[in-house]
Amino acid sequence: MYKGSARAYTNIALIKYWGKKNEELILPMNNSLSLTLDAFYTETSVTFEPNQTADHFVLDGVVQDEKATKKISRFLDLAREKAQVNWGAVVESRNFVPTAAGLASSASGLAALATASNAALNLGLDDRGLSRLARRGSGSACRSLFPGFVEWEQGEDDETSFAQQIPSNDWEQDLAMLFVLINDQQKDVSSRDGMRRTVATSSFYPGWLASVPTDLAHAKSAIATQDFTALGEVTEANGLKMHATTLGAVPPFTYWSPDSLVAMNLVRQLRQIGLECYFTMDAGPNVKVLCQRKDEDALKQALSQHFAPERLILAHAGYGATVI
């Protein structure tokens, strides 16, 4: 029986990955930096069957359609190639996210699948090898292998593009991230499609890309000096610039919904009255608010004046992917 199971946690980028220089290998245009969180995780088991060739994918108890299964199969082919086998597999994944979330994070899912495949096929991959394998499933997944603050080195090719943890003296334990879950019916443009369109057509993209190295340096120095204000400011600015690129795409699009703007404005108002907090957003309307742990209750209290409590999820620093 060639079976492996793993758990991996989602991560939120403070300095965003937004654009690929190589779609096939998922090589990014820039380095990114994230914080691995504890609130959302995925548990995945994979069982390779020597006398089967078809793959089956069950997500949260539901057998997935051909399109979703094909995406998993393409990833499993990488593991099969490394093991020199052509065995079919059954993948069972469970996302542990609050029901209201709608936060199906591919990052934790693919990081868990890479870790589970490594165990099932006894591939013997080290952290770097695992990060490179997860990257082939979804770019941000390469960061979910590790706890704390994580930097994805963009690299030049498959060998040199991987993530690693940034030394922080556990400062991340002093921080918190409050997820404001905006229920938005509108179908978002996927992160993959959004970054593809933006790179190809947005006149704002070059300006964004040119600003990332400086933002990254500021974020890393803020972590080294445990300067929350500096980390918050660069996080909020970098996220806003990333989202600005979508407005210049052809056709233009935005991930922001009216309630996203309400949340962003509330964060600015709270800062003005001395509750230090900063927001960031990804490929969806949800708003993530970075604060210090000592302020998390005041922040949640303030936002619950405008958002129902079940839509406010507090997260803290998470853990690296593990075999379970």
Residues that bind ligand FM0 (CB under 6 A): 13, 16-18, 26, 32, 106, 138-140, 191-192, 282-283
Specify the amino acid at residue 147: P
Q: How far apart are CA 49 and CA 57, in angstroms?
A: 14
Least CB distance to ligand FM0 at residue 163 (A): 11
Residue 140's nearest CA partner among 294, 226, 28, 60 is 28
- Quick one: how far is CA 10 from the chain centroid? 6
Q: Which one, 88 or 147, has the nearer CB to ligand FM0?
A: 147
Least CB distance to ligand FM0 at residue 17 (A): 3
Q: Which one, 88 or 285, has the nearer CB to ligand FM0?
A: 285
β-bridge mates for residue 27, sequence order: 22
Q: Which one, 140 or 257, has the nearer CB to ligand FM0?
A: 140
| Residue with the shortest CB distance to ligand FM0 | 139
Integer Rg of the chain from CA:
19
Least CB distance to ligand FM0 at residue 225 (A): 23
Q: Which one, 47 or 202, has the nearer CB to ligand FM0?
A: 202
Least CB distance to ligand FM0 at residue 155 (A): 14
Phi, psi of 266 (to 5 degrees): -60, -40
Q: Which one, 75 or 171, has the nearer CB to ligand FM0?
A: 75
Least CB distance to ligand FM0 at residue 106 (A): 5
Give SS3 for 92: strand
What is the per-residue DSSP string for 198-243?
A: HHHH-TTHHHHHHHHHHHHHHHHHHHHTT-HHHHHHHHHHHHHHHH
Give SS3 for 1: coil
Q: Which one, 25 or 90, has the nearer CB to ligand FM0?
A: 25
Q: Which one, 72 or 270, has the nearer CB to ligand FM0?
A: 72
Give SS3 for 318: coil
Residue 211's alpha-carbon distances to 232, 244, 288, in angstroms, are 16, 13, 22
Least CB distance to ligand FM0 at residue 239 (A): 9
Q: How far apart are CA 225 and CA 231, in angstroms?
A: 10
Least CB distance to ligand FM0 at residue 222 (A): 17
